[in-house]
Amino acid sequence: MTTATSHTPHHSGDAGTSLTRTAFSATVHCLTGCAIGEILGMVLSTWWGWSNTGNVVLSVSLAFVFGYSLTMLPLLRSGLTLRRSVPLAFASDTLSIGTMELFDTLIILIVPGAIDAGLGEPLFWGSLAGALFVAFWAAFPVNRALIGRGKGHAVIHAYHSATTPTRSRSRQSPQGAHTRSESRTHLTTTGGAVPRPPHRDRAVGS
């Protein structure tokens, strides 16, 4: 009883570290998609001379598009259909991306002149980098809480965990059968005796 109690804090600490690492990785994943979409949206809207409203709408929309796309690509490559991948991406990333975009947009709007800065101005890129940095740390605790409850990116991890063993068994079984077949063929062609199960001599009754 005492030994089990002494190990409990250690296991709890390992679980907390693993949860933090998973949440950090999930937040980096979301930030990548958001950054690609938002930078592209801001560059295009600034280049086209759109209004501030159009700038924000395009940037946020592309952030969601690229964020969902980066989540769906591995699912599609693993053989999952688009119809099944879309709900998984929505369940995994919606709250995380939404949190990032909320804080990111607020920073851009709060910093004086940031929303009106041109592509060649340091203020444009500096405010964008700062906004993404703040957005990352705003979304990190959200992802950690969701994963701890089995939601968010935990949905994607659960899917991969469920499909990986099945794929591994399907790959190993034919190989194992092929190896056993080759072993029997080698024994036969080289004159080796194929082992047979031992049998007992039947007792002769009186």
Buried-state track 47-70, b at ≥16 Cβ within 10 A, e below 16: eeebeeeebbebbbebbbbbbbeb
The pLDDT value given to residue 155? 64
**CA terminus-to-terminus distance, the chain:** 63
The pLDDT value given to residue 161? 57
Residue 60 has pLDDT above 90, yes or no: yes
3-state secondary structure of 37: helix
* pLDDT tens per residue, range 137-178: 999 999 899 888 877 666 676 665 555 444 444 444 444 444
pLDDT band at residue 94 under the 50/70/90 scheme: very high
The pLDDT value given to residue 75? 86
At 160, list the tokens.
């991969």
pLDDT band at residue 79 under the 50/70/90 scheme: confident
pLDDT, mean over the chain: 77
Question: How far is residue 125's CA from residue 58's CA, in Å, rounded to a whole number?
Answer: 17
Residue 190 has pLDDT above 80, yes or no: no
Question: How far is residue 156's CA from residue 75's CA, in Å, rounded to a whole number?
Answer: 9
Query: Tell me, what amino acid is at 202?
Result: R
Residue 1 has pLDDT above 50, yes or no: no
Ordered by start, the domain boundaries in the chain are 17-162
The pLDDT value given to residue 180? 47
* pLDDT tens per residue, range 13-39: 566 788 889 889 889 988 999 999 999
Helix locations, the chain, DSSP H: 2-48, 52-77, 82-110, 122-148, 153-189
Question: How far is residue 89's CA from residue 155's CA, in Å, rounded to a whole number?
Answer: 9
